[in-house]
Amino acid sequence: MWRAILALSVLSLVLVGVACAEAPIDRILLPIEVLGTDGTIESRTLVLGTAQSESVISLYLQVHGLRYPEQASVKVNAGEWTPLTNDTVNVTSPGKMYGGIGGGFATLVLTIPLPSGTVVVGENTVRFRFNRTDGLASGYRVLDLNFLTADGQKVISAASYVLDDPETWTPPRTDVDSIRAGQELWHSAALVATSLPGSPKIKARCSDCHAHDGRDLKYFNFSNASIVARSRFHGLTTFQGELIATFIRSLPFPHPGRPWDPPYQPGPGLDVQPVSSWAAGAGISWVLDQDVNGLKHLLASAGKEVDEKATHTPADTFEVRELAAQITPSVFRPDNNLNVREIPIALQLPDWSQWLPRIHPKDAWGSDFENSNFAKMYDAGTGSGAPGRKPKLSLRALLTAAQTSDSDLRSVVPFFVRWSHARQAFLRHRLKARTLWSKELANKVYSTQLWHLMKTWEVSQEFGLEGKGRLFLGETAEPRTWCNTVPADTAPAATHIPDGPNGIGGTRLTNEYLSAAWYELQILLNSGNHQHHNRWPVDWVYVIGQFSDLYVESRNPEPVRLLVAVTKALQSTDARLGPDNYSDGWRPEQNIDPRITISSYWAPFFKPFPFEIRRAITQSVLAAWMEKTLSYRMAEYLPFPVIPRDYNIHSYTDVSGGKVWEAARQFRAAGVSDDLVQRLIEWGVGYNERAAAIQYH
């Protein structure tokens, strides 16, 4: 019952936002925006009966935007203010495993123990305070609140809440002059860096760090109050903030998202929505409590007849055997196409605020950035992308011209490649071989990567690029996709930003989480889907190696997310190209191989599954790999046209590049059938004989 109420309450949040209208007196308005200056307080009143009040032991909260300890405090009735830190609240998993408050996840579920007698019969007032800014945050949002009993039951029913609908929102002003004035402020208003005293003026304008036309604030339904609060944070007046909010409300763009729903978060039913809604993701409610609960969704996405509503770990022998029977080679077959967009994961992706640069590159690097090819390839250095300016050799100019002819869009893919190379060159000249990293330098580098990502989203939305994958990449491409590697390029690891105090977030864990999240986004947006070329668009061996790096810090195994990545790696090459095509074809020694399922190094990832499910996974991955491998003549595998590149990292030896048949004993011990193991051994013998014949020819 508790799970059902939670699912209903949280799922409903994807339909609501920050209120501009009053809620009915007898219902509790959600979410609660605690935004503004230091010390801002918001409250809600919850009414309890006698039996209810006697059963309460804790306060339940789902909060978006807790970025650091003591950013927020909570007070119930006449009790003391409780600052929210990892020591004063209980953060539920998986958010707890990624650092809790101050960690990677933007939305967390918390419980706060309440002393006996805190709540009373009748009205109970819960107050929320925004204590102070750290120079980045301007508040937070409470998405859900309730009281809990000793057995974790919510005391107040879901029917007692009203969830705000953005369709009911109205602009602060409605006249044309106000809209025009708001647009002008969006492009040209002078800003300061933060709301902290003495904060310096910055070169960037609103349209520089956001979509140039403001569509991101409309798309993710940032409320009038949040826009005003952020305008004041950057030194504007309340009146100016209201004008900007009026401009944003007037925009005729789709607006399916919410500030707390991670862009592109995968989940069932996402593909049923129009491609214009894809960036909104499946919603925060589809971030799983445990990764293992995604197995049934993996099987369903592969076409297996399983109950998609079942989201728990198999509990009894019959259920385990029933689920294991659904795990067959077809799930992992290299020539198939697994739809990763509809498989929920327990990794919460970054929210939209985490997509935005913390410092604009023109403020980080000055004229070096403004005069760089990297900047000019976006809009020839204009920064704001103001109307009427269509410079040559810019992405925006190219896409504008290509609107008259879809055939011109073919040039967009190589342009994105050159744009990524320009970013790499720009940062390489500022990062020497022995760079001494500092928090400031890491922030500047990472913000430059975020700017690239955000502007890629901007043009993808504005020019409808996400639905043109097959025009860009051919008929085997995903129906909705990006055509670049910008998400992977955003990872801190991509520019060697170090783990630890000088990394992003100040901890090894958060730095690794962000790298994992952006690599995951790359898989979701452009995995190569049978169009792989060398290590473009995903360097699978490296990316899957990053799973291990994250696990070392979080101690949270993610077997299903790992299996999805392994499967997409196997499915990355064109089914029509064999191993004789070294850069694009099936090359087992360059890709992920089945030994990952029986490796002692990777064993902790699969340990959460019962033995029978582990056996079925191992058998099926190996069988799918063998079927593909044996479909080609041995002569097509050898000799190598070039010498394979060695990653020279120990953990990769159980992922790729080795001789799979040498693990025959381990496969047999894992329960793989003798017949399949024998076929593997025979193929290895043939491979060795072919290699020896070539060597001594």
pLDDT confidence of residue 392: 57
Contacts of 543 (CB under 8 A, 6+ apart): 488, 519, 522, 523, 565
The CA-based dihedral angle spanning residues 233, 137, 40, 200, taken in that order and rounded to the nearest 10 degrees: -30
Residue 616 backbone dihedrals phi, psi, to 5 degrees = -65, -40
Q: In 257-327, which residue ranges form alpha helices assigned H by DSSP?
A: 295-301, 317-325
Any domain includes 117: yes
Residue 658 backbone dihedrals phi, psi, to 5 degrees = -105, -170
646-665 pLDDT tens trace: 444 445 667 777 789 999 99
Residues 134 and 188 occupy one common structural domain: no
Residues 113 and 130 occupy one common structural domain: yes
Residues 121 and 176 occupy one common structural domain: no
Q: Stretch 587-601: mean pLDDT, rounded?
A: 91
Phi and psi based region of residue 595 (left: phi greater than 0; alpha: psi -120 to 50; beta: remaining): alpha
Q: Which of 563, 618, 667 is nearest to 324 (CA)?
A: 618
Q: In 429-481, which residue ranges form alpha helices assigned H by DSSP?
A: 439-462, 469-473
Contacts of 188 (CB under 8 A, 6+ apart): 205, 384
Q: Does 401 score more than 70 pLDDT? A: yes
Tokens 């214009």 — which residue?
276
Q: Does 27 score more than 50 pLDDT? A: yes
For residue 587, give Cα distances in angstroms to 7, 71, 638, 660.
44, 51, 10, 13
Any domain includes 112: yes
Residues 92 and 200 occupy one common structural domain: no
| Paired sense of beta strands 82-83 and 72-76, if any | antiparallel
Q: Does 684 score more than 60 pLDDT? A: yes
CA 98, CA 104: separation in Å to the nearest integer? 6
Pick from 481-495, 579-593, 632-646: least confident: 632-646
Number of domains in the chain: 2
pLDDT confidence of residue 406: 65
Q: Stretch 370-388: mean pLDDT, rounded?
A: 72
Classify the C-alpha dihedral 435-437-443-446 as positive or negative.
Answer: positive
Residues 134 and 89 occupy one common structural domain: yes
Q: How many CA atoms lie within 13 A of 152 on its CB side?
A: 10
Residues 11 and 147 occupy one common structural domain: yes
pLDDT band at 432 (very low <50, low <70, confident <90, very high): confident
Any domain includes 344: no
3-state secondary structure of 104: coil
Looking at 230, 250, 270, the residue that finishes a domain is 250
Residues 191 and 69 occupy one common structural domain: no
Q: Does 19 score more than 90 pLDDT? A: no
Phi and psi based region of residue 385 (left: phi greater than 0; alpha: psi -120 to 50; beta: remaining): left
Looking at 139, 166, 193, the residue that finishes a domain is 166
Pick from 83-97, 397-411, 528-542, 552-566: least confident: 397-411
Contact 345/557 with Cβ under 8 angstroms?
no
Tell me, what DSSP letter sits at residue 646? P
3-state secondary structure of 600: coil
Query: What is the distance between the terminal CA atoms of the chain, rounded to a whole angstrom?
Result: 71
3-state secondary structure of 161: strand
Contact 581/636 with Cβ under 8 angstroms?
no
Looking at 116, 143, 166, the residue that finishes a domain is 166
Tokens 């902790």 — which residue?
604
Tell me, what DSSP letter sits at residue 433? T
pLDDT confidence of residue 271: 96
Tokens 């894809």 — which residue?
278
Residues 177 and 158 occupy one common structural domain: no
Tokens 């955000």 — which residue?
454
* Tokens at 105, concatenated: 């996840």
For residue 336, give Cα distances in angstroms to 12, 288, 476, 589.
34, 25, 11, 20
pLDDT confidence of residue 659: 87
Q: Stretch 32-52: mean pLDDT, rounded?
A: 97
What's 133-197 look like in SS3? CCCCCCEEEEEEEEEECCCCCECCCHHHEEECCHHHCCCCCCCHHHHHHHHHHHHHCCEECCCCC
Give the amino acid at 619: Q
Q: Does 389 score more than 60 pLDDT? A: no
3-state secondary structure of 111: strand
Any domain includes 678: no
Residues 155 and 175 occupy one common structural domain: no
Contact 210/259 with Cβ under 8 angstroms?
no
Give the amino acid at 433: A
pLDDT confidence of residue 656: 78
Q: In 262-302, which residue ranges form alpha helices assigned H by DSSP?
A: 295-301
pLDDT confidence of residue 24: 41
pLDDT confidence of residue 317: 72
Helices 559-570 and 540-554 meet at what angle, rounded to 10? 170
pLDDT band at 694 (very low <50, low <70, confident <90, very high): confident
Tokens 């399922």 — which residue?
597
Helices 224-233 and 238-250 meet at what angle, rounded to 10? 130
CA 351, CA 259: separation in Å to the nearest integer? 7
3-state secondary structure of 41: strand
CA 191, CA 208: separation in Å to the nearest integer? 11
Any domain includes 617: no
Q: Stretch 618-626: mean pLDDT, rounded?
A: 97
Residues 78 and 225 occupy one common structural domain: no
Any domain includes 508: no
Q: In 500-573, which residue ranges form alpha helices assigned H by DSSP?
A: 508-525, 540-554, 559-570
Q: Does 181 score more than 60 pLDDT? A: yes
Query: For the chain, what is the mean pLDDT?
Result: 90
CA 259, CA 39: separation in Å to the nearest integer? 22
Residues 84 and 191 occupy one common structural domain: no
Residues 31 and 157 occupy one common structural domain: yes
Q: Does 16 score more than 80 pLDDT? A: no
Phi and psi based region of residue 581 (left: phi greater than 0; alpha: psi -120 to 50; beta: remaining): beta
pLDDT confidence of residue 302: 83
Residue 315 backbone dihedrals phi, psi, to 5 degrees = -110, -30
Residue 393 backbone dihedrals phi, psi, to 5 degrees = 60, 25
In what helix (H) or strand (E) does residue 176 lie, and over which residues does it extend?
helix 176-188
Phi and psi based region of residue 607 (left: phi greater than 0; alpha: psi -120 to 50; beta: remaining): alpha
Q: Stretch 72-90: mean pLDDT, rounded?
A: 98
Residue with more model confidence, 74 or 400: 74
pLDDT band at 303 (very low <50, low <70, confident <90, very high): confident
- Domain around 230: 170-250
Q: Stretch 287-307: mean pLDDT, rounded?
A: 87
* Other Cβ atoms closer than 10 A to 99: 21
* Tokens at 258, concatenated: 């919410």
* Tokens at 114, concatenated: 């309440």
Q: Does 599 score more than 70 pLDDT? A: yes
Residue with more model confidence, 61 or 533: 61
Contact 110/264 with Cβ under 8 angstroms?
no
Any domain includes 244: yes
pLDDT confidence of residue 523: 97
224-275 pLDDT tens trace: 999 999 999 999 999 999 999 999 999 999 999 999 999 999 999 999 999 9
In what helix (H) or strand (E) does residue 110 lie, and over which residues does it extend?
strand 107-113
pLDDT confidence of residue 390: 44
pLDDT band at 395 (very low <50, low <70, confident <90, very high): very high
Q: Residue 89: which CATH number?
A: 2.60.120.1200
Q: Stretch 269-298: mean pLDDT, rounded?
A: 97
Any domain includes 199: yes
pLDDT confidence of residue 469: 87
Pick from 76-90, 106-120, 316-330, 641-655: least confident: 641-655
Q: In 234-343, which residue ranges form alpha helices assigned H by DSSP?
A: 238-250, 295-301, 317-325
CA 12, CA 10: separation in Å to the nearest integer? 5
Q: Which residues, in sequence order, are bridge partners of residue 148?
A: 58, 154
Give the amino acid at 220: F
